[in-house]
Amino acid sequence: MNFDGKVVVVTGASSGMGKSCAEMLLNNGAVVCGFDVNEGCVEHANYRHFQGSVVDEEMVETSTEKIVQEFGRVDGLVNAAGVWGNSKPFFDMDTADFQRILNVNTVGAFVMSKYISKIMIPKKNGKIVNISCIRSTIFRGNMADYAASKGAIVSLTSAMALDLAPFNIQVNAVAPGFIYTGMTKASFDNPEIKKQSEELIPCGRVGVPEDIASVVMFLLSDMSNYMTGTNVFADGGYHIQK
């Protein structure tokens, strides 16, 4: 895919799917501006790193101003920053802990989309891709915080798509299944958990970040111009047998 001359902002760019998206975009000609609470670890002449939290509105505003000063445009935004939940029943969860998960996973995508869409709107051009999850619609116990944050991402995606449709900006989400990343490494490094997970996936394997980055690339490209407001599952078929 040709992303020559395009500028794409990727959050969560220092690990997992965000890092893979950043690298795939760079390898296909884009300039990438990565945001992460951690230091940048993508090595490329066309990569700029902005360290801080996606819910730190002042940092996001200042950083997006710098991006406009340097590049004058943003063609795409990938909201991949996220955290796993507290892994306990909702009735044992502190409200502050519940709010922290929604804050990073949902409010973070809102804040980033707000500032980046203001750059895209005057150009009447842009793509926003949010990373949701199979846990937006298929649940297990002990994940009320994470599931609520991802269900909200799916709704936010469709609602933002309507607001931005008149400006030729498409907004879609990708719902990954079980992907081997920094978030899940500890689980999938356990052979028992890995085997149990593989048995639930029709394709028979846990995904890798590139499995998701390639779908994100499609949604950032002109090939998806007639798609907006959707949540695309990329889960090796996990959801079709639930």
Ligand X SMILES: NC(=O)c1ccc[n+]([C@@H]2O[C@H](COP(=O)([O-])OP(=O)(O)OC[C@H]3O[C@@H](n4cnc5c(N)ncnc54)[C@H](O)[C@@H]3O)[C@@H](O)[C@H]2O)c1
The footprint of ligand X (CB under 6 A) covers 11-12, 14-18, 35-38, 53-55, 80-83, 104-105, 108, 131, 133, 176, 178-179, 181-184
Instruction: Tell me whether residue 123 or residue 239 sits nearer to ligand X (CB atom).
Output: 239
Active site residue 226: no
Q: In a 10 Å sphere around its CB, with 0-12 CB exposed, 13-18 middle and 19+ buried, how is residue 63 labelled?
A: buried
Bridge partner residues of 10 (DSSP): 34, 78
In the complex, minimum distance from the CB of residue 175 to ligand X, in angstroms, rounded to a whole number: 7
The smaller minimum CB distance to ligand X, of residues 170 and 181, is found at: 181
Q: How far is the CB of 240 from ligand X (least distance, A)?
A: 16
Distances (CA, A) of 68 to 7, 108, 115, 116, 180: 10, 20, 11, 10, 34
Closest CA to 70 of 51, 52, 47, 53: 47
Is the Cβ of residue 125 or residue 187 nearer to ligand X in the bound state?
187
* Contacts of 190 by beta carbon, 8 Å cutoff, 6+ apart: none
Residue 36 beta carbon to ligand X: minimum distance, rounded to whole angstroms: 4
- Minimum CB separation of residue 212 from ligand X in Å reads 7
Cβ atoms of 116 and 166 within 8 Å: the answer is no
User: What letter represents residue 71's amino acid?
Assistant: F
Query: Minimum CB separation from ligand X for residue 153, in Å?
Result: 8
Residue in this structure with the two tokens 């958990």, named with its chain if needed: 193
- Of the pair 73, 239, the CB lying nearest ligand X is at 239
Closest by Cα among 64, 52, 45, 47 to 12 = 52
Q: Which is nearer to ligand X, 100 or 123 (CB)?
A: 100
Q: Are 28 and 1 in contact (CB under 8 A)?
A: yes
Q: How far apart are CA 88 and CA 74, in angstroms?
A: 39
Distance of CA 90 to the CA centre of its chain: 25
Given the residues 47, 115, 146, 238, select the one marked as catalytic.
Answer: 146
Q: What are the catalytic residues?
A: 146
